[in-house]
Structure 1
Amino acid sequence: MEVDPAWLGQQVREPSARGVATGLIDLIRQGTLRPGARLPTVRRLARELGVSPSTIAEAWSELRKHRMIGTEGRRGTVVLGPPGVPHPARYERIGHFGSRLAIDLAIAAPDRALLPPLGAALAAAATAEGLNDYTRETITPRLRAAVEPTWPFPAESWLALGGGYEGVQLLCQTTALPGDRIAIEEPTAARLLDILEMIGVEVVPVACDEDGPIPAALAESLRSSPVAFVYQPRGHSPCGYAVPEARSAELARLLAPTTTLIVEDDGIGDLSAAPLSSLGTKLPERTVLVRSYSKSHGPDLRLAIIGGAADAVERVRVLRSFGTGWTSRILQDTLAHLLTDPASQAIVAGARTAYARRRASLAALLSTRGVHTGGRDSLVLWVPVHDESEALVTLAAHGISAAPGSRYWVRQGRPHLRLAIAGLTEEPAELDELADVIALAAKRPGADRH
């Protein structure tokens, strides 16, 4: 049943995008507009209210973000139900295969056998000075002393957080208002796209090559005055590039005349085989580096550090004060112990070497089979395929899961799969067999017949 546009117009008290959205939210919450009700077209309701179609489109966008309305083909826009919590749809769809598949290449988790043990580090942290003090501490002295010498530029301010994506999310959330623009590399991490969709910003994609964001593409994006530029300087997921110093200098030259905040996502941190060429060495007052220690030192530490521009870090600290307030001193000093303990440092260095070897081995085997992956530094391989759906079905038939590349694009790009390499076998015969299956999945059916 279609909702009468005249009646609906009478329920809207304020003819603005916010007023229309608020009016419909009330009607849906009260049950006056029930799930399945078909809404008037954007143009019909705009005429009824005497506003532009873009005003109604903006209201519809807000309602879609909260999963209150949706489009159902010829039925048009329909009511779905009361507002719900936005879900990270791209991230939640990755890797729910239960025990049916034997090889999981969808989740880029660390190999638990390559993580440093936590026992001694936790014991050392449990006797830390100031333990259980209710003072809100942005970063413990021990942890700052451990990370500061490794930072690529002098940070104006520091903050310990519950993981790298929390850092990226809070920096974006405290920098951008709904409708603001944020420039990001493309393709990029699926979770970042979910975060930006939840915040309600306009995403401005920046094309990349083997050296990271292309200067001409960044220059084009800066014409729209984005409030932030978020990118991965090394260990890029999904493509595996690391930005060299010459490219970093070009990007800094373009960003220098702007007011755009630079957010560097160093997602694998100490596991990266490449040096970090940070824009913070040229623009320290506008750069914040987010470094995660989850994959290198343990996911259950739930720790990342942000360091850089004081204003941006302070905004994150203030927003966090409404909730968690500060990160556990026990966890912070546990990480500090691991970062300074020679035995733990050796284990992380060994993991870095092992991951690089596993990645290079599978890439080389695929290359000999005509599948060229590119990239040189990450815990994933970005594999071009003829058809994503067919490739995923082929892998699943052989007991292998993978992540479809379409989840990592803003605009539609060439079909790819993202394969996690951290847990790969190093047994030559098994790795060779795996490469055979991936190559079979990647190629056009019948491609090897001629």
Structure 2
Amino acid sequence: MQNIDSHTLAGHLKDRSATGIARDTATLVRNGVLPVGARLPSLRDLAYELKISPSTLSQAWKELRRLRVLTGRGRNGTFVTGSSFAPRPSRVSAQGHFERIALNLSVAVPDMKLLPPLGEALDYGTHAEGLNSYVRVRILPELERVLRPLWPNHAASMLATNGGYNALYTALHALVPPGSVVAVEAPVPMRILDILEDLRVSILLVENDDHGPTPQSLHAILKESPSVFILQPRISAVTGLFLHPDRMEELGDILSKSDALIIEDDGLGDISLAPPQSLGDRFPDRTIHIRSFSKAYGPDLRMAVLSGSEYLVEQIQSYRAFSAAWTSRILQAAVSWLLQDDETQRLVATATRTYRDRRNLLARHLRDRGVDVPDGAGLCLLAPVHSETFALITLAAHDIAALPGSRFSMHETGHIRLGTGRLEPHEIERLAHVFKLSASEPFILSPDP
């Protein structure tokens, strides 16, 4: 291990601002002057050499820790741990690949056999209005006409985006400055937590029960004056449990005493097995509603639509102008065709029921074995365990991959998430038996007296 002394490092750092120190240190790492594994001088010693406040240097180190270039090891010091500077979604990146495992339940994805065929839809899309024009339209007029009767509120404006998470990412970056406080219902889809952490906001988790975010938890968190509240308006993509309409009404009553922006993330869309709902008509000036079409119609469509007030949508569209200023007219027209095609709607309805039956058959087998999992719908369920680590090890020993509940929160939750969208009926009984073993309290052998 190479120790870097404060005098040598200070000689390389010409800019004494926090931003400049972070930039210059990153350059030293990139060029190999500070190799991976090197131990940096203490914050106090380096600040003294630089003749700056330790708090200024601390800001620079904090930014490099966020990028995973540096890491602090308590009293052992600060070390160079990486030479890659692009921020990356830590939870999603850590998901791993399980090609060789017999039963991979770590992903909550649709069954490709249940997705509708796209050939006719994409052919139709090649004749979209304004095809190949550089005119930046928020949404194809045809798609908006189809969606309006299906939308859960009378939104002033709509915007097509390149998928649900793209919509959420763009909206948050356009409207929420770093350092803000954001409330989000927990458990949280991994990518949402990754987006919020990358945005460098303070994250407050609103607790959930079987009917959705609890009024008590939301009321307590609103005392912290969050600028945004993110909720899933139909069904939780992590638990597979519905947000009850009465609970939605209660949440609206509590939010009426706040000025927080409301972002409704309908990630499962048309396979939710519940009617769409929104607080948009109640709070039209501060509600953004997002519906994704990927899970129901195909992930390669990369299509979602968001709605909101004219002011909010214009802000989001202005931010989009830095990159993809509009979403493919071909894909928008294809989704319009799929939404109007009777056979496609029949296939989606069949898939929706199949996903529900697979999930709830596993839930019933788990309940028969004393593991409390309510019925729901969607592509996964969240089941309680005594120890997340023990459960994952036990499942892996039986060639089953899953994800810990901590991946969907800020701490261990005592749960395991199982993706059920691709489960086959013959796999369920064995899975339930193994999961019962994994959910039990670990047996620890006592040493011989």
Same fold flag (TM > 0.5): yes
Letter in 2 for 1:61: K
- Decide which moves more: 49-58 or 188-197: 49-58
Structure 1 equivalent of residue 202 of structure 2: 202
Question: CA–CA distance in 1 between the matches of 2:45 and 2:116?
Answer: 62
Structure 2 equivalent of residue 391 of structure 1: 391
Report if aligned partners of 1:111, 1:422 keep a CA contact under 8 Å in 2: yes
Report if aligned partners of 2:360, 2:377 keep a CA contact under 8 Å in 1: no
Question: Does the C-alpha gap of structure 1 residues 80 and 413 become closer, same or farther in structure 2, counting only changes over 3 Å?
Answer: closer
**CA-to-partner distance for each residue in 1:371-409, whole Å, 9 max, x for gaps?**
112362431110111222222222222222111211111
Structure 2 equivalent of residue 382 of structure 1: 382
Report if aligned partners of 2:360, 2:375 keep a CA contact under 8 Å in 1: no
- Decide which moves more: 356-365 or 320-329: 320-329
Structure 2 equivalent of residue 217 of structure 1: 217
Structure 2 equivalent of residue 78 of structure 1: 79
Structure 2 equivalent of residue 437 of structure 1: 434
Structure 1 equivalent of residue 419 of structure 2: 420
Letter in 2 for 1:423: R
Question: Does the C-alpha gap of structure 1 residues 294 and 14 become closer, same or farther in structure 2, counting only changes over 3 Å?
Answer: same
Report deviation, 1:35: 2.8
After superposition, residues 113-152 of structure 1 pair within 5 angstroms as: 113-152=113-152
- Decide which moves more: 152-161 or 276-285: 276-285
Question: Does the C-alpha gap of structure 1 residues 47 and 205 become closer, same or farther in structure 2, counting only changes over 3 Å?
Answer: farther
Structure 2 equivalent of residue 304 of structure 1: 304
Report if aligned partners of 2:39, 2:77 keep a CA contact under 8 Å in 1: yes
Letter in 2 for 1:439: K
Question: Does the C-alpha gap of structure 1 residues 214 and 43 become closer, same or farther in structure 2, counting only changes over 3 Å?
Answer: farther
Structure 2 equivalent of residue 162 of structure 1: 162
Question: CA–CA distance in 1 between the matches of 2:209 and 2:77?
Answer: 39
- Decide which moves more: 187-196 or 132-141: 132-141
Structure 2 equivalent of residue 106 of structure 1: 106
After superposition, residues 12-51 of structure 1 pair within 5 angstroms as: 16-45=17-46
Question: Does the C-alpha gap of structure 1 residues 177 and 96 become closer, same or farther in structure 2, counting only changes over 3 Å?
Answer: same
Structure 2 equivalent of residue 184 of structure 1: 184
Report if aligned partners of 1:179, 1:200 keep a CA contact under 8 Å in 2: yes
Structure 2 equivalent of residue 96 of structure 1: 97
Report if aligned partners of 2:352, 2:378 keep a CA contact under 8 Å in 1: no
Report if aligned partners of 2:236, 2:243 keep a CA contact under 8 Å in 1: no
Question: Does the C-alpha gap of structure 1 residues 279 and 44 become closer, same or farther in structure 2, counting only changes over 3 Å?
Answer: farther
Q: Unaligned stretches of 5+ in structure 1?
A: none
Report if aligned partners of 2:385, 2:440 keep a CA contact under 8 Å in 1: yes
Structure 2 equivalent of residue 322 of structure 1: 322
Question: CA–CA distance in 1 between the matches of 2:44 and 2:237?
Answer: 41
Report if aligned partners of 1:215, 1:251 keep a CA contact under 8 Å in 2: yes
Letter in 2 for 1:315: Q
Question: CA–CA distance in 2 between the matches of 1:375 and 1:184?
Answer: 23
Question: CA–CA distance in 1 between the matches of 2:237 and 2:203?
Answer: 18
Find the residue that maps to 1:230 and give its secondary structure: strand
Report deviation, 1:210: 1.8
Report if aligned partners of 1:382, 1:418 keep a CA contact under 8 Å in 2: yes
Structure 2 equivalent of residue 356 of structure 1: 356
Letter in 1 for 2:87: P
RMSD of Structure 2 on Structure 1 (CA): 2.4
Letter in 1 for 2:435: I
Question: Does the C-alpha gap of structure 1 residues 48 and 176 become closer, same or farther in structure 2, counting only changes over 3 Å?
Answer: farther
- Decide which moves more: 254-263 or 338-347: 254-263
Report if aligned partners of 1:386, 1:444 keep a CA contact under 8 Å in 2: yes
Report deviation, 1:287: 0.6
Q: TM-score if structure 1 supplies the norm length?
A: 0.91
- Decide which moves more: 269-278 or 45-54: 45-54
Find the residue that maps to 2:62 and give its secondary structure: helix
Structure 2 equivalent of residue 63 of structure 1: 64
Letter in 2 for 1:201: V
Question: CA–CA distance in 1 between the matches of 2:368 and 2:198?
Answer: 42
Q: Unaligned stretches of 5+ in structure 2?
A: 445-449
Structure 1 equivalent of residue 447 of structure 2: none
- Decide which moves more: 18-27 or 235-244: 18-27
**CA-to-partner distance for each residue in 1:6-48, whole Å, 9 max, x for gaps?**
5555665565533442343344345443333322334444566
Structure 2 equivalent of residue 248 of structure 1: 248
**CA-to-partner distance for each residue in 1:84-119, whole Å, 9 max, x for gaps?**
211212112224012x11222111110112111112
Q: TM-score if structure 2 supplies the norm length?
A: 0.91
- Decide which moves more: 104-113 or 397-406: 397-406
Report deviation, 1:283: 0.8
Report if aligned partners of 2:272, 2:377 keep a CA contact under 8 Å in 1: yes
Question: CA–CA distance in 1 between the matches of 2:127 and 2:174?
Answer: 35
Matched, 1:261 2:261: yes
Question: CA–CA distance in 1 between the matches of 2:25 and 2:191?
Answer: 29
Report if aligned partners of 2:388, 2:412 keep a CA contact under 8 Å in 1: no
